[in-house]
Amino acid sequence: MALEPAITDIAQLKDRPEVAALLAWNAAAVEGAKLDRGQLIVWLHRVALREACLTLKNDPALAYNALADITCVDWLPREPRFEVVYQLFSTSKKKYLRLKVKLQAEDPNIDSLTSIWPGANFFEREVWDLFGVRFDQHPNLARIMMPDNWEGHPLRKDYPVEGYR
């Protein structure tokens, strides 16, 4: 089974219902799309994320009504440094969609999704704790894995694997 090359051209992907719906909603908010190993990824502008999730959730043809996961990748030393990764799931269509938002190192801030999915609470606290990405309008953005008085964010690439000694 040879790997097929990933499709990164948004013009070729605009027939996919998810991409088409997002482009129809706000073409300026879609920064890119990629189909890699059968999995669809859409990059969004950070101010558009919450509205885009609402669009995907409320569109009856897509019905991405559940949030499966939130995580983050630190691309140090590349800029934009952080990439927050959202996995959406549709419990009726049984499909996954990955949304990504790029964040600059000096201003890692993004809107919280807790108003759409209260379950985003723990995931966002985890990303804040381990990566230092802040979620605006989060009800309780406290550390969740590390102790309260911990310094630094362990999953950042500039944090040593053995910790500071």
Q: Restricting to residues 125-154, which ones interact with another protein according to CB under 8 A?
A: 125-126, 130, 140, 142-149, 154
The minimum distance between CB 25 and another protein, in angstroms, equals: 22
Instruction: Indicate whether 73 belongs to the interface with another protein (CB under 8 A).
Output: yes
CA–chain centroid gap for 98, Å, is 7
30 contacts 22 by C-beta, under 8 angstroms: yes
40 contacts 64 by C-beta, under 8 angstroms: no
Question: In the numeric block, which tokens belong to residue 69?
Answer: 């996961």
Q: How far apart are CA 83 and CA 102, in angstroms?
A: 5
Q: Cis check for the bond before 80: say yes or no (omega within 30 of 0).
A: yes
Which residue in 9, 12, 27, 69 binds another protein (CB under 8 A)? 69
Instruction: Indicate whether 39 belongs to the interface with another protein (CB under 8 A).
Output: yes
Instruction: Indicate whether 119 belongs to the interface with another protein (CB under 8 A).
Output: yes
30 contacts 16 by C-beta, under 8 angstroms: no
Instruction: Indicate whether 106 belongs to the interface with another protein (CB under 8 A).
Output: no
- Positions touching another protein (CB under 8 A) are 1-3, 6, 36-37, 39, 41, 65-69, 71, 73-74, 85, 87, 91, 94, 96, 98, 117-123, 125-126, 130, 140, 142-149, 154-155, 159, 161
